[in-house]
Chain A
Amino acid sequence: MIAIIDYGVGNLFSLTSSFGAIGEEVVITSDADVIRNADKLILPGVGAFGDASQKLYESGLDKIIVEEVKKGKPLLGVCLGMQMLFDKSYEYGEHEGLGLVGGKVVYIDLPQQYKIPHIGWNCLRFEKDSPILKYINENDFVYFVHSYHAIDCEESLVATTDYGIPITAIVQKDNVYGCQFHPEKSGDVGLKILKAFAEIN
């Protein structure tokens, strides 16, 4: 069973529906025991890093997540949930992340002709192989909505997308995975990514 961590942030409905569509059982939970008993964890998130990370830390669930990850449990962070895997974010100030993946989150600094947020469908360029890519192909499209992105994370970089500069799209460090885009909103390609994650041992 996959636990979607509910700390008061994020579009849990869509993630739940997506796993339902691929026949995976999920539970939305803020209960430490349920998280401990789950096979895999999803860390969702939308909104601002500071608010979301504060809510996560106040819930105390950050410690449970880190404990379970250290035991080898697969974790997938989605969008802001992915950004929270890193060491630090510089979104409106400086905030501590979970430190599960090396790197930091900064504003996407681009020439004026590029609109921010980076909203829309963009294609993936694979940087290295990963179990999460099992069912998808290079140049498949996924849906992004974000103004900040992860940098200094070369050793965990699985896929990027091009928005004038390479944007970190997928990372993996051991059993910790992250998608900057929304797999639950990326049509069949997104469902295939969730399926690949659900099948990771």
Chain B
Amino acid sequence: MSLLGPISGALFYYIAGGAAALAVTAYIIKMRRRRFEVPFSALWKRVLEQKDVNSLWKQLKRLISLLLMLLIIGVVLFSALDPTLGAVDRKARSVVILIDASASMKSTDGDDEGKKTRMQVAREEADKLIDSMGGGDIAMIMRVDNQTTPLSRFTSDQPMLHKIVHGVTDTRDPAEIPGLPKSAQPATSAEDNARRAQQMLQSGVNASDTPADLTRALSAAADALRDRPNPLIVLISDGAFPEQALELVTFDKPKPVESGSGSGSGSAKPQPKIGQGSNVPGGLSPTLQFNMKNLATVDLSGVDVRYIPVGKKSENVGIIAFNVRRYIANKAAYEVYIEVQNFGQEAAHRELKLYNGTTNVNTLRIDLAPGQRLKQIYTNLPGSTENKLSAVLAPVDGPGGSDTFALDDTAYALLPVRKKQKVLMVTTDNLFLEGALLVYDNVDPAKVSPEEYKAKPSLADGMDVVIFDDFTPEVLPPPPASLLFFHPSGENSPVAMAKNDINKPHITEIDQGHPVMRWVTMADVFMDRSSAFVPEARRGESCLSYAVRDCLVAAKRDGKRKVLAFGFSLPASGRDSATDLPLRVAFPMLLVNALDWFAGDQSDLLTTYPTGTRERIPLDGAVGATEAEVKGPDGGITRTPVVEGLATFYGHRVGFYEVAAKDALGKVIARIELAANLASPTESDIAPSAELTLGGKNGKKLEAPEKFAITHSRQLWIYLILFAMGLILVEWITYHRRITV
């Protein structure tokens, strides 16, 4: 028998002594009695005198009662020490059960019949583990996908651990549920965290659509087990982890980094051979590489790690890449890239279907040899009103026509929305400007003279873009029309002007990060004169092009519209200024970029991301917003922070997402659609690993599950409490039957 209770010996003796003293005192102190009138106490006197003959027996009965009470106290206190039978041969273990909840665990090959998913089998294995807990074993359950989520604290409460694994219907606030961690996820907000925790609690451990990050999981488990007795990690997984993650583990205590241990230190100690197998840049010094390797490696020294494999089959064909883009020259058309791989050991056959919305754009039968990777490009696909594309691997009849992992059989992509922009040019005849716009397919140009505009500013109503060529109006077109100025002047200039013009400026620097300046070079552009702007960042103004320190091209976000201003004018009849910009390739590029920027269309904007990665997405127009709403594929809404116009995006489910920033009144001020796909060859390679080796070639092979067995033990406290209750019952009965009175 062992005593596993939390009470120390000294404390136990104090409590026992105190309780015994209290019990004895209770027997010594005089009892407060009820008064009762009798007509003739002499009769009672007679009886009691006779009874007093038996006073010794009476005292003895009280003594028996006292001893009974002391025995009850002793039993209760002894049960508090948690006496346990059958656990003498080992001490209590601290167990972290890592349940792989990555996408591959959705594969329906948990059993030979294909009726269970790997996730279901993993939950059953977790149940067996929990049931085999005994003695003072305590366990914590962690859900492992791209993020590691502790679902419980260390506890020996087996029913609660079962509930966490399988989920419960509990309508309470998650914060009120004992055992549930306060912060289960790196939350974007408290409500999201609570909602996610509630979902997890209700649904149990379920597989997500993200790959598993084993390194993070092992690190979290090791951290949780730090300073705990007999640490043990049990990994329940299909073993679909990248080799790199398996290698970044050490079971030996890492050697401390010695200061000054470089090649020139002259130390006689041999330097560790480092850099092999690591992904650190080769250009780094050996010492730095060593440090980085140490930092990335998970230290599992002293921790017993076991592995329970799940999964039966390895046949799978999955889409590992899917993207779409518009042509730069012809934004109405687009091309699609799909990459499919057969991860199985046998030939596979599928139908690859491409949909634009619900319209089937293309169907292609593909036959893939074992391990073959197929790259398919669809070019010059015509545009349509739909912008949601999906690629589907449909099963075909016959052997090798289907697989057990459906998640990577569908991929999603978004085509940036594009429409023709209405552009009004306010100019006297300018051949360069008009010519450039006329050859651009995506605009619907119109032209008025400055005089006509002055007379009737409403001519600009309904326009998407208004270009003021060497003319600065007093009345600006109403938003959301974006504005493009060439050589603005005076007080009505959209960006504050410097007092003096610059003669023959040379452009020395451009902001290539700005969409307008993308692919544009202006290094040797000639101009005989230009105005200079004085942009102010606090008003949303920025400079795109400098002549040394003078700003020649400025951009500005003015509420819902954007403004772009060039300090120089384009050559035209009647103007004395001259520039060769219109004669360069940069000019139409500038115009196209400007129009695309005005339309919110960025050619290099990625809208398709892999699940499980955290991305920073430019949220165009989200000025002043600090938070955005993310509507997921399941319709659930979460919140994500927005910093400097960049929203944080984390796709944990495959499908389409919508990120929208709202102003204080709740009106959407910026919105973007995104798609998330599994796109992980590691996850699509669902071949289960029967055995797992951590720490590289010289690492440790995790023991087979059959060797893992937690000693069964029997806790006695419940029986002791029942015994104490029985004694109390006996005492109660004997007291009220006047046997021990």
> Is B a genuine binding partner of A?
no
